[in-house]
Chains A and B, each alone.
Chain A
Amino acid sequence: MWAYIVRRIFWTVPTVLGVVLLTFTLFSLVSRDPARQYAGKFVSEEVLQSIRHKMGVDKPAFLNFAAARQRGVAGLLDSQFFDVLLFRFPESMRYEQPVWSIFARKIPVSLAIQVPVFVVALGLELGLALICAAGRGRWPDYTITVLAVVGLSLPALSIYLAAQWFFGAYLELFPVAGWDTGAGAVRFAALPILVSVVASLGGGTRFYRTVAVDEIYSDYVRTARAKGVAEREVLLTHVLRNVLIPVITNTLASLPALVLGALFLERIFQIPGMGGLIVEAIFNQDRPVVMAAVYVISVAYCIMLLITDICYALVDPRVSLR
């Protein structure tokens, strides 16, 4: 098992490097003139230069030979590529603050919404999936499956907009948009949380249902029944343990996305979280923020996948001995 874990850790390194390369390629190599993109058409060349300097795009792409002559290795590595690799991000163009401090403000807000959504949605999805597996082929299974497919086919944006209008503007049950700090946040968070759970139920339920139903048709379930185990025990003891393995994989791997916040949810409900930040940064062509967000979240995702694999090795006895 330890060999497996070490191997996995080893494998993460090239992947992270790959992410660095990807970020670098997209933001430095492919994109044409980020300064002009930011500033628009009617700016002088001087202003553009200063913007370029602020964004850090006036540096060479890979290795800075010019600076190396003066500052040695530190100078050599003063390039766009190493800026990304070493987490050296310039300040946000719009806020004029270091990217990290902006993230530190926004992430907790996103989490305040995403964590409850995650927990509630997971619980509901697993429960519904087990109900489907228990009553497979009969009406609970059919109705839940149909509802799940319907939910999957509706664009999430429409659900958010419709809920915002119906519960916020029409019924006036919840505030339409906005945020408050501390305890006041609860009433602003309520509707986004509800809506987000409903919108994501479809996909998760269908996935877990497939897993649960697959397990329920396994041979070992037949053996358990032949031993005289009650149907409920079969589901909750035998099937659930086997279902948990893909569940863990699925959920742990989606945790970094929580930080991402729901881009659209936050935009529509005017919630000052990471998602809203990224959306805004796109509109404002705020390159440092977009780049940093993409990079940081991706690296976090890699690490999360690594942790998932390790947990998997701990939980599934078949993996332990490889």
Chain B
Amino acid sequence: MGDEDIPGVTVVVPEGSAEAEDTEAPRPRRMTLNMGPQHPSTHGVLRLLLELDGETIVSAQPDIGYLHTGIEKEFEVKNYQQGVTLTDRIDYLAPLSNNLCYCLAAEKLLGLEIPPMAQWQRVMLTELTRLNSHLVWLGTHAIDIGAMSVFLYCFREREDILRIFEMYSGQRMMTSYFRIGGLALEPPRGWHKRIKDFIDVFPSRVDEYEELLTNNRIWIGRTKGVGFISLEHMLDWGVTGPMLRAAGLKWDTRKAQPYSSYDKFDFEIPTRTDNDVYARYLVRIEEMRQSSRIIKQALEGMPEGRWTADAPHVVLPDREKMKTQMEALIYHFKIVTEGFRVPAGEVYQVIESPRGELGYYMVSDGTAKPYRVHVRGPSFGNLQAIPEMVKGTLIADVIASIGSMDFVLGDSDR
């Protein structure tokens, strides 16, 4: 057959089997195939070791760690406010969700009260992040399965969102716009109109994506009944987020343990029961619609007020005050040179990121630097379920199955 000559392909002949003795016999052969780490459908650097029997997968072994950057160690040598910039780089498709979770954890340790305006801005921007992340997911997932054009549509809207982020923070992706104690800057002039213009048309854009895919026979053929994994297995393996909701579990941290005023917003948790790639697609599409509902409500009901908490020992003073008031100058000097001290203790803050349960476990020893920060990335938990999910399915379905997990390797490797 000459399989041995193809790089990355090894044919394993079990010793003592009929095949080893008689090469002419019909061959139930197992093949080990290496997929990744540079395979385009793995969206980053994930390696899958697949053991195949013909086209059927006998077992799969994910191999992660190619993107490990030691972020958790890095947290320990930065002061609390500097740590925000690291969180962007963990899940680079949902930077603001990570900013938010980190800030909430630190604020819980500090016992800070965040003004309503900052909270609502946070909700609005985090939901825009969810749209951003789901759009990248939808575009790339569709490309993996062979629908090229959806990608272009999705990236058109994603560009609008990135421009909004740029307007707010000067950065398209690594915004670090949320800070411990509120927001980094006052929302820019004209933000209301900019977001309103976007969110007014966005639902019709979702209709466009749906027109391309929802009733598309090829799409249905490639996704329906594919990638099944039972709810019990998912809970057991640590899967969270839209995957669970596509299996019928109505669980969303935004509703169950509301943070940052999510309890003041009216939205639904979309669920499905089919538990396949197609159901996960429908759940995420509906989540985009719900997110735009939340953004609309935030726009309409945005409270007046400050964008930072009333905590001079944590939040940098306004430029004007710093130049005219002695006390403000002292605070400014102290915060810039040594940071602020955080009372000793530990918290585990959990939020609903676009990918599932995002958790920050933060331990403080009373100094200006976190003693330990552990990040529970949703992708890490989700990826664990790959072997269970693809076992016994066809190799052609692997791409659709892992695509439906929506993982980000930066989030799992950290």
Partners in one complex: no
Chain B residues at the A interface, C-beta cutoff of 8 Å: none
